[in-house]
């Protein structure tokens, strides 16, 4: 009797596990299939791409496709460009947003709450509204076809990151600040050597978001960069596609190989810092 | 008398010094450009000669005569109306699946989340080929079950659904927000429901959904705002190699932001494009306010939360 019931609960539990895993594996398959197929196409030869029926695993994987892809468009150049732009933006964003967040969370001054509300409300403004005047202004400055329009705005912080950092700074006990004051530290000193130090997890989250946003940015490079040598990976990939489609000989295996290479840094960064992504999204989602 | 005044002033100066980066940025990158945009939207300007004031003519033309704008608006509303609810439901189902105590659950979370942070241009290349009518993955799979697939992006009817299907692949971020909300539900609620003999379905309807309704509202609003601004996929995946052909076939994927981009950066009609931007802004604002209003009927905030 006792054995029977425990056996029964076991089968119920087991069948629930089987169903749960079954559904999860099925859904994962749906999500992964396009990526696996992309990988497969990227190592086919031209005949393989158009073969009917399609062979998922080619007899001779053509890894040269990746080498061809990086020679068909200046991949190294674009990678370097994107890296320089992204790292500048991330660094400036961290610095400026944390300074402002410190001001909003640790300093008392007249108009603070009003200004903070204003800061938050600008998050709602769609970029299209300011895009044209900014383009015109940058054009007047002679900055079109330079990286300045992509980097310089990071000097001024970003409302969403200011918000995230402020929320985190508020959780840091004031006792740390007070102890530092007793040691004769000024506000800047407290900001630099205490708050920034203790807020490293939040800074990591902001760095990640800023990294992904800048690395993936397409609209900015699209409207500001004209010279191919100055392009970023996203813009370069789009130009490669136009070039390939334009010539009529659609070399999909090369385009897929190139796209995979462009995706790769995101995937690497994601695996290095998965925790921070999830935490950051939760912070933004729950408190926003 | 002067002492408290001076310390207060000093405090103000120090505070403003810290927020100066944002404050300067607000004037230079937001408030200033907004004012200029209002001005430009009342002019005719192609950047070659000085702007010519035309009053409200741009707005009038857009709203009364411009058939392409009407098309782009219809396309955008279609996209928002289907993509947002489908994405919400999909991401909620995924989040509920992930909210189980199972070995290796983080592997599945990674798989569902990964596509959402990959590069949209590269993702668009992938899906461009997935949707290829002859050699694409989708029609190959459909053929396996005996269905002859449509022309997808090359078909006026199926181009928008194609982009909507693709948007489902990027629900990872929304899913994580739901997952966090699910994890925040106190376990006692479920235990109490168990004592009452509530089944799984009733627990979902009476506990889970009300408890995550704030996250639902957040995802809904962010989703609608984002979908109204759909651009990259349409720009990269549609049209031929010629610049200006984006948004095809026969303008089936001409969304408002794509139309705005073409006016501004292909035709350089900056006044007209500015007016378009403001119309888009008020549209998004109105829809968001309506959602906030309606949310009072279905979003439950726990008493005592914050």
**Residues of chain A contacting residue B181, judged by C-beta atoms under 8 Å apart:** 285-286
- Of A18, A45, A65, the domain-final residue: A65
Instruction: Report yes or no: A211 and A91 within 8 Å, Cβ to Cβ.
Output: no
pLDDT single digits (tens) B33-60: 999 999 999 999 998 889 999 999 999 9
Whether B84 and B233 map to the same domain: the answer is yes
Instruction: Report yes or no: B217 and B291 within 8 Å, Cβ to Cβ.
Output: yes
pLDDT of residue A1: 43
The proportion of chain B whose per-residue pLDDT surpasses 90, expressed as a percent, equals: 67
> Which of B180, B169, B76 has the alpha carbon at shortest distance from B114?
B169
Q: Is B269 helix (H, G, I), strand (E, B) or coil?
A: coil
Count of other CB atoms within 10 angstroms of residue B135: 16
Q: Distances from the Cα of B100 to the Cαs of A8, A54, B106, in angstroms? A: 21, 37, 11
pLDDT of residue A270: 84
Residues 6+ apart with CB under 8 A from B187: none
pLDDT of residue B83: 97
Residue in B closest to A258 by C-alpha: B122
Whether B195 and B289 map to the same domain: the answer is yes
How far apart, in whole angstroms, are the C-alpha atoms of residue A232 and residue A134?
20
pLDDT of residue A10: 67
Whether B72 and B174 map to the same domain: the answer is yes
> Which of B200, B273, B261, B197 has the alpha carbon at shortest distance from B232?
B261
Whether A172 and A35 map to the same domain: the answer is no
**Residues of chain B contacting residue A41, judged by C-beta atoms under 8 Å apart:** 129
8 Å CB contact of B22 and A100: yes
Instruction: Report yes or no: B22 and A156 within 8 Å, Cβ to Cβ.
Output: yes
Whether A55 and A154 map to the same domain: the answer is no
Residue in A closest to B31 by C-alpha: A130
| Residue B168 domain boundaries | 65-298
Question: Which residues is B43 bridged to in the sheet?
Answer: B53
- Of A48, A65, A82, the domain-final residue: A65
Domain contains B57: no
Beta strand residue intervals within chain B, DSSP E: 43-44, 52-53
**Residues of chain A contacting residue B36, judged by C-beta atoms under 8 Å apart:** 133, 136-137
Whether A59 and A130 map to the same domain: the answer is no
DSSP calls for chain A: -HHHHHHHHHHHHHHHHHHHHHHHHHHHHHHHHHHHHHHHHHT--HHHHH-SS--SS-SS--THHHHHHHHHTTHHHHHHHHHHHHHHHHHHHHHHHHHHHHHHHH---TTHHHHHHHHHHGGGS-HHHHHHHHHHHHHHTT-TTSSHHHHGGGGG--HHHHHHHHHHHHTS-HHHHHHHHHTT--HHHHIIIIIHHHTHHHHHHHHHHHHHHHHH--HHHHHH--SGGG--HHHHHHHHHHHHHHHS---HHHHHHHHHHHHHHHHHHHHHSHHHHHHHHHHHHHH-
DSSP calls for B105-157: HHHHHHHHHHHHHS-HHHHHHHHHHHT-TTT-HHHHHHHHTT-----GGGSTT
Say how many domains are in chain B.
2
Give A156: exposed, middle or buried? Use CB within 10 Å, 0-12, 13-18, 19+. Answer: buried
pLDDT of residue B305: 44
Residue in A closest to B97 by C-alpha: A24
Whether B15 and B93 map to the same domain: the answer is no
pLDDT of residue A242: 85
**Residues of chain B contacting residue A237, judged by C-beta atoms under 8 Å apart:** 119, 121-122, 125
> What mean pLDDT do residues B12-25 have?
95
H/E stretch holding B182: helix B172-183
Whether A81 and A219 map to the same domain: the answer is yes
- Of A65, A85, A113, the domain-final residue: A65
> What mean pLDDT do residues B16-37 have?
96
Q: Is the pLDDT of residue A287 over 60?
A: no
- Could you tell me the end-to-end alpha-carbon distance of chain A, in angstroms, rounded to an integer? 54
The ipTM, to two decimals, is 0.88
Facing residue for A100 by CB, picked from B18, B40, B47: B18
CA distance B62 to chain A (A): 16
Domain contains B60: no
Domain contains B89: yes
The mean pLDDT value of chain B amounts to 91
Whether A198 and A61 map to the same domain: the answer is no
Residue in B closest to A215 by C-alpha: B119
Count of other CB atoms within 10 angstroms of residue A96: 23
Domain contains B58: no
State CA B48 to chain mean position distance: 34
Instruction: Report yes or no: B231 and B280 within 8 Å, Cβ to Cβ.
Output: no
pLDDT of residue B178: 93
- For residue B171, give the DSSP letter: -
pLDDT single digits (tens) B144-159: 898 988 999 999 999 9
Indicate which CATH number applies to the domain containing B155.
Answer: 1.10.3720.10
Whether B163 and B245 map to the same domain: the answer is yes
Whether A167 and A115 map to the same domain: the answer is yes
Whether A194 and A59 map to the same domain: the answer is no
pLDDT single digits (tens) A145-183: 999 999 999 999 999 999 999 999 998 999 998 899 898
8 Å CB contact of B180 and A285: yes
Indicate which CATH number applies to the domain containing A115.
Answer: 1.10.3720.10
* Helices A112-121 + A75-106 axis angle, to 10: 150
**Residues of chain B contacting residue A131, judged by C-beta atoms under 8 Å apart:** 264, 277
Whether A279 and A180 map to the same domain: the answer is yes
| Residue A51 domain boundaries | 2-65
Q: Is B44 helix (H, G, I), strand (E, B) or coil?
A: strand
How far apart, in whole angstroms, are the C-alpha atoms of residue B287 and residue A16?
42
Q: Distances from the Cα of B1 to the Cαs of A109, A282, B5, B6, in angstroms? A: 19, 49, 7, 9
Residue B276 confidence class, pLDDT cut points 50, 70, 90 = very high
Residue in A closest to B110 by C-alpha: A274
Domain contains B251: yes
Tokens representing B200 are: 């799984």
Whether B86 and B9 map to the same domain: the answer is no
8 Å CB contact of B176 and A282: yes
Residue A8 confidence class, pLDDT cut points 50, 70, 90 = low
pLDDT of residue A266: 87
Whether B75 and B33 map to the same domain: the answer is no
Domain contains B52: no
Domain contains B204: yes
Question: Which span out of A30-44, A231-245, B33-47, B136-150 was modeled with the highest average pLDDT?
Answer: B33-47
Q: Is the pLDDT of residue A282 over 70?
A: no
Instruction: Report yes or no: B243 and B266 within 8 Å, Cβ to Cβ.
Output: yes
Facing residue for A102 by CB, picked from B18, B219, B229: B18
Task: Give φ, ψ of A18 to 5 degrees.
Answer: -60, -45
Whether A82 and A49 map to the same domain: the answer is no
pLDDT of residue B38: 97
**Residues of chain A contacting residue B23, judged by C-beta atoms under 8 Å apart:** 115
Domain contains B55: no
Whether A55 and A197 map to the same domain: the answer is no
Q: Is the pLDDT of residue B241 over 70?
A: no
Whether B27 and B86 map to the same domain: the answer is no
8 Å CB contact of A128 and B229: yes
How far apart, in whole angstroms, are the C-alpha atoms of residue B139 and residue B142?
5
Task: Give φ, ψ of A169 to 5 degrees.
Answer: -60, -35
Whether B134 and B173 map to the same domain: the answer is yes
Say how many domains are in chain A.
2
pLDDT of residue A139: 95
Whether B101 and B180 map to the same domain: the answer is yes
Least confident of A153-157, B42-46, B129-133, B242-246: B242-246
8 Å CB contact of B22 and A159: yes
Q: Is B62 helix (H, G, I), strand (E, B) or coil?
A: helix
pLDDT of residue A189: 92
Whether B78 and B196 map to the same domain: the answer is yes
State CA B175 to chain mean position distance: 15
Whether B14 and B140 map to the same domain: the answer is no
How far apart, in whole angstroms, are the C-alpha atoms of residue B280 and residue B20?
30
How far apart, in whole angstroms, are the C-alpha atoms of residue A113 and residue A118?
9
CA distance A3 to chain B (A): 25
Tokens representing B42 are: 């009342």
Q: Is the pLDDT of residue B232 over 80?
A: yes
How far apart, in whole angstroms, are the C-alpha atoms of residue A171 and residue A153?
28
């Amino acid at each position: 009797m006792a054995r029977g019931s425990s056996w029964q609960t076991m089968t119920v539990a087991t069948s629930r596990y089987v169903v749960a895993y079954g559904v999860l594996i099925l859904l994962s398959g749906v999500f992964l299939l396009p990526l696996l197929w992309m990988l497969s196409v990227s190592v086919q030869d031209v005949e393989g791409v158009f073969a009917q029926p399609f062979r998922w695993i080619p007899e001779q994987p053509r890894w040269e496709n990746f080498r061809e892809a990086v020679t068909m468009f200046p991949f190294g150049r674009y990678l370097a460009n994107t890296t320089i732009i992204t790292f500048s933006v991330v660094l400036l964003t961290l610095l400026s947003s944390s300074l402002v967040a410190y001001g909003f969370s640790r300093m008392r001054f007249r108009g603070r709450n009003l200004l903070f509300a204003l800061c938050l409300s600008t998050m709602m403004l769609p970029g299209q509204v300011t895009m044209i005047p900014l383009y015109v202004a940058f054009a007047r400055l002679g900055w079109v076809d330079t990286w300045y329009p992509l980097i310089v705005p990071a000097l001024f912080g970003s409302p969403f990151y200011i918000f995230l950092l402020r929320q985190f700074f508020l959780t840091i006990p004031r006792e740390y600040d007070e102890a530092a004051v007793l040691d004769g530290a000024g506000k800047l000193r407290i900001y630099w050597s205490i708050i920034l130090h203790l807020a490293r997890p939040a800074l990591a989250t902001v760095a990640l978001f800023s990294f992904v946003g800048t690395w993936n940015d397409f609209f900015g490079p699209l409207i500001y960069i004209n010279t191919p040598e100055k392009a970023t990976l996203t813009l370069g990939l789009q130009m490669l596609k136009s070039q390939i489609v334009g010539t009529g000989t659609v070399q999909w295996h090369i385009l897929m190989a190139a796209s995979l290479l462009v995706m790769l840094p995101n995937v690497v960064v994601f695996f290095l810092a998965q925790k921070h992504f999830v935490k950051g999204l939760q912070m933004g989602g729950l408190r926003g | 008398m002067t002492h408290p005044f001076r310390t207060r002033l000093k405090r103000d100066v120090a505070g403003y010094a810290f927020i100066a980066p944002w404050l300067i940025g607000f004037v230079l990158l937001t408030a200033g450009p907004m004012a200029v945009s209002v001005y430009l939207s009342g002019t005719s300007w192609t950047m070659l000669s000085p702007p010519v004031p035309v009053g409200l003519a741009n707005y009038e033309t857009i709203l009364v005569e411009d058939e392409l704008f009407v098309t782009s608006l219809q396309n955008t509303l279609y996209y928002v109306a289907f993509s947002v609810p489908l994405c919400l439901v999909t991401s909620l189902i995924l989040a509920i699946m992930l909210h189980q105590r199972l070995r290796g659950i983080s592997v599945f979370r990674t798989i569902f989340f990964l596509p959402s942070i990959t590069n949209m241009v590269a993702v668009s290349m992938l899906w461009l080929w997935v949707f290829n009518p002859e050699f694409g993955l989708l029609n190959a799979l459909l053929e396996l079950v005996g269905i002859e697939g449509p022309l997808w992006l090359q078909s006026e009817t199926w181009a928008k659904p194609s982009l909507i299907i693709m948007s489902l692949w990027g629900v990872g971020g929304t899913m994580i927000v739901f997952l966090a909300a699910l994890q925040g539900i106190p376990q006692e609620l479920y235990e109490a429901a168990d004592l009452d003999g509530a089944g799984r379905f009733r627990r979902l309807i009476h506990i889970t959904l009300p408890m995550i309704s704030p996250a639902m509202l957040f995802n809904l609003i962010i989703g609608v705002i984002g979908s109204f601004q759909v651009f990259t996929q349409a720009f990269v995946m549609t049209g031929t190699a010629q610049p200006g052909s984006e948004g095809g076939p026969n303008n089936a994927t001409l969304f408002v932001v794509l139309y705005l981009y073409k006016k501004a950066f292909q035709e350089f009609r900056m006044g007209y494009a500015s007016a378009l931007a403001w119309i888009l802004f008020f549209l998004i604002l109105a829809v968001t306010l309506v959602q906030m209003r309606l949310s009072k009927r279905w979003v439950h905030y726990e008493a005592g939360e914050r």
